[in-house]
Amino acid sequence: MGAIRMATRIIGGCVLRVVEIFKGTKKEEMYLYVDQKEGLKKVPDDLLGTFGRTESVMVLPLTKDKKLARVKAADVLEGIENQGYFLQMPPPPEALAETQIAAMIQAEEQLSEAQNQEPK
């Protein structure tokens, strides 16, 4: 059976779970992680209502050691195991502002360095 079709599998002592990630039409940057085999069946209706229409964005084989952008894979796997889903909330506005400020500072530093270099 292919890895994508299996919900969970143990490889080298690590649990591998095939996870499907959904986004909604109502909230930007909010995602639901679920076991692919179960889909959205275990997600409460009131939570689904806050998403609007859900859209699958990715299917991902996941182990606790996998690096994810904004959440820990171990937390995702624990949430799916305990409640049937994991909810990734949007980052707080101040985190977005800090990221934008850091990018602006970096761009200014690069521009300054480029302007200070002597032509070849």
Residue 73 burial (CB count, 10 A):
19
Q: What is the pLDDT of residues 8-58, one digit of tens each?
A: 565 555 678 999 999 999 888 899 999 999 999 999 999 999 988 999 999
Environment class of 22 (CB within 10 Å of its CB; exposed 0-12, middle 13-18, buried 19+): buried
The domain 8-89: what is its CATH number? 3.10.510.20
d(CA 96, CA 102): 10
Question: pTM for the complete prediction?
Answer: 0.68
Question: With contact defined as beta carbons under 8 Å apart, do 48 and 105 qualify?
Answer: no
Most confident segment among 1-5, 25-29, 58-62, 116-120: 58-62
